[in-house]
Structure formats: C-alpha cells, structure tokens
Amino acid sequence: MQTIQLQIKDSYFEKFLNLLHTLPEDEVKIIDKKFSMSDEFFVNSIESVQKRVYEAEERIKNGNYITEDAYKEKMDEFFKTEFDLQR
C-alpha cells in the first residue's frame, strides 16, 4: 500500500472523511485513528434517520435524557479523547 499526507481545508474536511469511508476498508485505510469515525456517524438511508429520530423522541418521552450540564461534560470528554482538544 502507498501512504500519502494531505492538507484539507477545515470546511471540506468532514466531506472528505465521508468520501474516504465510502471506499472499501481493505483498499483504503485511515492510519491516524483520531480522525476515524464510527459507522453511527454516517447517514445510510432516510429510514435509518427516521428510526434514530423516533427512538430519540421515545427516550425523551420516557424521561431518558441528560441535563445540559451533563451533556457539556460528555462533549468536553469526547473532544479531549477523540481530538485532544480542550473546550
């Protein structure tokens, strides 16, 4: 396999990663794991989006949600873990 290093504008970076994730994993690999994203991140179909929205609405109706402060803490942890960024 060949390895290349790229510079990508911040405004285009997410689109570029989406493109990479459409390619077969055995043909193209993302080596720097801090830019790797789970399959949950990608929208695969309208039905999957509708299902996610429905499930989220049901969780909220049932009182299964977190406070704004807890959300901020989780996001701070996520950015620190995934991107080594302090918010």
Instruction: Tell me the per-residue pLDDT of 24-66, one tens digit each, with 9 for 90 and over.
Output: 888 888 777 565 556 666 666 788 889 989 999 999 999 999 9
SS3 27: coil
**Per-residue confidence at 71, pLDDT binned at 50, 70, 90?**
very high
State how far the Cα of 54 lies from the Cα of 77, in Å rounded to an integer. Answer: 27
| Residue 22 pLDDT | 85
State how far the Cα of 58 lies from the Cα of 2, in Å rounded to an integer. Answer: 47
| Residue 31 pLDDT | 77
Q: Which residue has the tokens 């704004």?
A: 68
| Residue 39 pLDDT | 61
If residue 61 lies in a helix (H) or strand (E), which one and from where to where? helix 46-61
